[in-house]
Chains A and B, each alone.
Chain A
C-alpha cells in the first residue's frame, strides 16, 4: 500500500499569502496519478487537481499542483477567505489511498 504523508499538519496564514502544501509518497507514484481535494467543515471533499497538475472543472487558477516520483505539492498562489479549509492528497497509482490532510487556517 502506498502511504501518503502530508505536511505540515497545520498551516497558519493570512488572506493574500501563498500556501505551499506537501504530499510525500512511500513509493514512487510514477504515473503522476495524484489528486488534491479541499474539504470545508461539514462538507464533502471537492476535487481540485488530478493527474498531479490538471485543474478540475471550475477550479480557479490560483490553485496549482506539481511534483513527480514521491514528492508532490499543492500551491495556492494568493489565499482567498474561502480557501481556509483542510486539503487532502490522494494517489491512484496502486489502489487508492489518501493522505492525512493539511489544515490551512487563518
Chain B
C-alpha cells in the first residue's frame, strides 16, 4: 500500500525559504505525477505545483515565481522549496499523487488526487 509522508521544519522566518520533503513508501515515484497542495488554517485548498517522475514540473500561476519542486528517485522522495515566504504562506502542506499512471503510450486518469499525505503544518513567523 503506497503511503506519503511530509516532513520539514514547522517554523520558518519571513523572507526565508520553506523546504519540505515528501517520502513515498510502498511504491515507486516512477510513472506518476506528484503534487504539493496547501491549506491555510481554517481555509480551503490551494494547488501549488507538480513534478513528474521524469523531472518535468509545473506550477500554479499565482506561485510560479517562488516555487521549485524536484525529486530524488534514489530516495523515493520529492521536495518543495517556496522562497521569500510571508505570513500568508502559513498553512498545512500536503503532498499528493495525481490519479492514474503513465506509460510510453500516455497517461491514464487526470488531475484529481487519489492519494494524499497527512500534511505538515508550516508557520511563518519571526
Contacts and interface: CB of A to CB of B under 8 A. Distances in A.
B47 to A, nearest CB: 4
A92 B110 contact: yes
Interface size class of B (residues with CB under 8 A): 10 to 19
A45 B45 contact: yes
Contact of B44 (A1, A43, A50, A101): A101
B45 A98 contact: yes
A39 to B, nearest CB: 8
Given A95-B61, A99-B44, A47 B110 contact: no
Interface of B: 43-47, 60-61, 94, 96, 99, 110-114, 116-119
Interface of A: 1, 33, 35, 37, 43-47, 50-51, 56-57, 88, 90, 92, 95-101
7 shortest A-B CB distances, which residue pairs? A92-B111, A44-B116, A35-B112, A96-B47, A98-B45, A50-B112, A100-B44
Given A95-B60, A98-B45, 13 more contacts: A44-B94, A44-B117, A45-B94, A45-B116, A46-B116, A50-B112, A51-B112, A56-B114, A90-B112, A92-B112, A98-B44, A98-B46, A99-B44
